């Protein structure tokens, strides 16, 4: 069999899996936006059938045979070629899928479904003991999963590799450690600073219909293409790249807060631009047509949300429009006061409501605890005590109850250990990429002030989006910025912003 034939067969098999996956995405999008409640049971059956079919097709031994042929061919000669990247990344995923025994996959699916239900009850009753046996079960299965995957160093590496291919705890921890120390220092400076933003400005009446108009016009200015995208309403906002020509985002509106929908929409539109910037016409179904990692995906959303959306030049352009739309709430407000309000920093219990400066501390805390649990250094029973102790150290406030502490996130009950670091990796990458974009385009902030965002978008497309999974995150970062990932660009960016706002 010629290598071309083998490669074509591999691609056509991967496309079939991707088509099934895109059907699942449409159903999943519908489930979270428009499906009537009564459709839940049928939808669960539909999605289970699709994922069963996908699994069957993707773990077909023929894929393994084709990969073995291709790994001996000239196609892998240049490791950065699209063919080599597709072969390498498909091998990675194929091995992952075929290494887990069927019995373990089923046990995990069943246990995490039940555990999520028990977690909801435990959180509602602020009762960690209720959740404890479930956390123990999920942890034991997760450790078995890591063993089945295999790893170097510690078992957490096998889990991290699920979300950030090739990334290790050694790399992550080195960066996170310094980041934590510097963030705690920054928070102390902010706490003792003389100035305080007036957050009540963004907590007034904000008509939902007008919020929608505003959000759409911001997404449009970013370059989110409504001919191949939609913006709908949901409870937990998300972005789904369904396939070529179809990328959808969602948001939720709070009539008494401007920030939620606005920055949520920018965040999801940032994810959407990445999906739209992938070369799916050519590479749909193959790793070259997919994002490099969850962390890189998050870097795109956070950049638009924070580096762009929470910058002053952005608001020099958009504030007059916001004032016209929300005359009663923003009419007499000064731009500087508004800018301070949307950048307010306040340590709080809940991760998903955290500001830019405290957000990463929430992540680092979770990462440290789940890593210790997987390693066997921390017993699930000791999680609340350890959580509260670290929370006090990092944030300077006492946790008042477990619902505001270690029971707040769904991840552990869902078996998603190894996922949390991707959020902070996203923030770190966003700052490092943005610093490089500023270096390449020194007048970028002036462009924002004039409502021009196309040059940033094209820069991202050219340097990041169009490469898909050609490079893994670590290599992509070096290719784009010339340096390995570091805490520095993010800390520099935050110091510049918050020292001005808080006057320290
Ligand atoms: Co995101």
- Nearby residues of 283 by Cβ (< 8 Å), 6 or more positions away: 82, 86, 289, 468
Does residue 429 form part of some domain? yes
Same-domain status, 55 and 198: no
Q: For residue 15, give its domain range.
A: 3-125
Shared-domain flag, residues 17 and 117: yes
As given in the structure block, the two tokens for residue 238 are 């998300």
* pTM across the whole model: 0.96
Q: How many CA atoms lie within 13 A of 349 on its CB side?
A: 14
Tell me, yes or no, whether 322 and 468 share the same domain: yes
Rg of the chain (C-alpha set): 23
For residue 420, how far is its CA from the centre of ligand 1 (angstroms)? 12
| Short-list 244, 248, 250, CA closest to 26 | 248
The answer to whether 268 is a known catalytic residue is: yes
Judge whether 456 lies within some domain. yes
Joined tokens for residue 260? 């939620």
How remote is the CA of residue 275 from the centroid of ligand 1, in Å?
12
In sign, the C-alpha dihedral spanning 214, 218, 219, 225 is positive
3-state secondary structure of 2: coil
Tell me how many degrees the CA angle 321-323-325 measures, rounded to the nearest 5: 70
My answer on whether 408 and 340 are in the same domain is yes
CA 357 to ligand 1 centroid distance, Å: 17
195 CA → ligand 1 middle, Å? 31
User: Do both 66 and 205 map to the same domain?
Assistant: no
Q: What is the CATH number of the domain that holds 452?
A: 1.10.1370.30
- Largest pairwise CA distance in the chain: 74
Distance from residue 263's CA to the centre of ligand 1 (Å): 11
Distance (Å, whole) CA 210 – CA 216: 10
CA–CA separation, 270 vs 264, rounded Å? 10
Domain count, the chain: 2
Per-residue pLDDT of the chain (504 residues; tens, 9 = 90+): 799 999 999 999 999 999 999 999 999 999 999 999 999 999 988 998 998 899 999 999 999 999 999 999 999 999 999 999 999 999 999 999 999 998 999 899 899 989 999 999 999 999 999 999 999 999 999 999 999 999 999 999 999 999 999 999 999 999 999 999 999 999 999 999 999 999 999 999 999 999 999 999 999 999 999 999 999 999 889 999 999 999 999 999 999 999 999 999 999 999 999 999 999 999 999 999 999 999 999 999 999 999 999 999 999 999 999 999 999 999 999 999 999 999 999 999 999 989 999 999 999 999 999 999 999 999 999 999 999 999 999 999 999 999 999 999 999 999 999 999 999 999 999 999 999 999 999 999 999 999 999 999 999 999 999 999 999 999 999 999 999 999 999 999 999 999 999 999
**DSSP structure class, residue 287:** G
d(C-alpha 440, C-alpha 11), whole Å: 36
469 in any annotated domain: yes
C-beta separation of 137 from 417 below 8 A: no
- The upper half-sphere exposure of residue 189, i.e. CA atoms within 13 Å in the direction of its Cβ, equals 18
> CA 58, CA 17: separation in Å to the nearest integer?
7
Other Cβ atoms less than 10 A from the Cβ of 188: the count is 12
Q: Residues 21, 60: contact at Cβ < 8 Å?
A: no
Measure the CA dihedral 202/205/208/210, to 10°. Answer: -80
Q: How far is the CA of 271 from the centre of ligand 1 (A)?
A: 7
Same domain, 348 and 457: yes
**Is 133 a domain residue?**
no
Buried-exposed string 104-125: b where 16+ CB fall within 10 A, e elsewhere: eeebbeebbeebbebbeebbee
Q: In what order do the strands lie in the sheet with 229-233?
A: 229-233, 246-251, 239-243
Output the CA 291–ligand 1 centroid distance in Å.
13
Token representation of residue 112? 């995490």
Residue 140 lies in a domain: no
Note whether 387 and 460 are same-domain residues: yes
* Domain co-membership, 184 together with 89: no
Cα–Cα dist 287/468, whole Å: 7
Distance CA 64, CA 377 (A): 37
Alpha helices in 278-405 (DSSP H): 280-283, 294-302, 312-325, 327-330, 335-342, 356-375, 383-395
Q: Judge if 285 and 358 occupy the same domain.
A: yes
179 is written with which tokens? 């980041």
* DSSP secondary structure code for residue 145 in this structure: H
Cα gap 26→501, rounded to integer Å:
43
Secondary structure letter of residue 418 according to DSSP: T
Distance CA 24, CA 46 (A): 8
Residue 147 in domain: no
Which of 125, 147, 179 is where one domain is finished?
Answer: 125
| Centre of ligand 1 from the C-alpha of residue 74, in Å | 38
Cα–Cα distance measured from residue 354 to residue 280, given in angstroms and rounded to the nearest whole number: 34
CA 394/CA 389 separation, integer angstroms: 9
Per the CB < 8 A criterion, the answer to whether 197 and 343 are in contact is yes
Say whether 348 sits in a helix, a strand or coil: coil
Residue 187, token pair as written in the block:
């928070």
Q: Which of 89, 154, 164, 268 is the catalytic position?
A: 268
Strand 246-251 versus strand 239-243 pairing type: antiparallel
Distance 303 CA to ligand 1 centre (A): 11
C-alpha 425/C-alpha 421 separation (Å) is: 6
CA distance from start to end of the chain: 69
What does the angle CA 461 – CA 462 – CA 466 come to, to the nearest 5 degrees?
65
Closest CA to 322 of 301, 306, 337: 337
- Residue 146 resides in a domain: no
Residues 310 and 439 in one domain: yes
Return the ∠ at Cα 307 (arms to 302 and 312), rounded to 5°: 140
* Residue 160 domain-assigned (yes or no): no
- What's the 469 CA to ligand 1 centre distance in angstroms? 18
pLDDT at 237: 93
Residue 270 in contact with residue 303, Cβ under 8 Å? Answer: yes
What does DSSP assign to residue 79? T
User: Both 94 and 179 in a single domain?
Assistant: no
- Chain-centroid distance of CA 26 in Å reads 20
Domain boundary among 125, 151, 184: 125
Do 183 and 113 lie in one domain? The reply is no
Q: Which two tokens stand for residue 309?
A: 């959306």
Ligand 1 center to 190 CA (angstroms): 26
């Amino acid at each position: 069999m010629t290598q071309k034939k083998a490669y074509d067969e591999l691609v056509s098999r991967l496309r079939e899996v991707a088509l099934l996956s895109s059907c699942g995405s449409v159903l999943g999008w519908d489930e979270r936006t428009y499906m009537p409640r009564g459709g839940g049971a049928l939808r669960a059956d539909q999605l289970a059938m699709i994922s069963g079919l996908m699994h069957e097709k993707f773990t077909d031994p023929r894929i393994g045979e084709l990969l073995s042929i291709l790994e001996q061919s000239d196609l892998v000669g240049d490791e950065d070629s699209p063919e080599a990247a597709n072969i390498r990344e498909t091998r990675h995923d194929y091995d992952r899928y075929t290494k887990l025994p069927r019995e373990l996959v089923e046990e995990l699916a069943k246990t995490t479904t039940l555990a999520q239900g028990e977690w909801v009850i435990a959180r509602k009753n602020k009762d960690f003991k209720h959740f404890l046996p479930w956390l123990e079960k999920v942890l034991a299965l997760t450790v078995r999963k890591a063993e089945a995957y295999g790893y170097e160093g510690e078992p957490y590496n096998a889990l991290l590799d699920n979300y950030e291919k090739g990334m290790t705890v050694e790399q992550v921890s080195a960066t996170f450690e310094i980041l934590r120390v510097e963030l705690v220092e920054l928070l102390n400076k902010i706490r003792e600073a003389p100035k305080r933003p007036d957050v009540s400005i963004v907590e007034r009446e904000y008509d939902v219909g007008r919020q929608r108009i505003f959000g759409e016009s911001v997404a449009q200015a970013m370059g989110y293409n409504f001919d191949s995208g939609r913006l709908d309403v949901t409870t937990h906002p998300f972005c789904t790249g369904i396939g070529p020509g179809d990328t959808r985002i969602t948001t939720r509106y709070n009539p008494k807060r401007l920030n939620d929908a606005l920055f949520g929409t920018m965040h999801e539109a940032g994810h959407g631009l990445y999906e739209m910037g992938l070369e799916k016409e050519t590479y749909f179904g193959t790793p070259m047509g997919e994002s490099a990692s969850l962390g890189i995906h998050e870097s795109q959303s956070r950049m638009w949300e924070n580096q762009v959306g929470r910058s002053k030049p952005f608001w020099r352009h958009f504030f007059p429009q916001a004032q016209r739309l929300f005359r009663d709430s923003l009419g007499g407000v000064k731009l500087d006061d508004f800018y301070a309000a949307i950048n307010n920093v306040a340590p709080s219990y809940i991760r998903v409501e955290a500001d830019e400066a405290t957000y990463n501390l929430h992540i680092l805390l979770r990462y440290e605890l789940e890593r210790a649990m997987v390693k066997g250094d921390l017993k699930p029973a000791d999680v609340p005590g350890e959580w509260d102790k670290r929370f006090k150290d990092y944030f300077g406030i006492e946790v008042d109850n477990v619902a505001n502490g270690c029971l707040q996130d769904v991840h552990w009950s869902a078996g998603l250990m190894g996922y949390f670091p991707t959020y902070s990796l996203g923030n770190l990458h966003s700052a490092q990429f943005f610093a490089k974009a500023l270096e390449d385009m020194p007048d970028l902030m002036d462009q924002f002030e004039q409502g021009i965002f196309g040059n940033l978008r094209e820069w991202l497309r050219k340097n990041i989006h169009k490469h898909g999974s050609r490079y893994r995150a670590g290599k992509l970062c070096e290719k784009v910025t010339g340096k390995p990932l570091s805490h520095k660009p993010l800390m520099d960016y935050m110091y510049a912003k918050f020292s001005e706002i808080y006057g320290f």
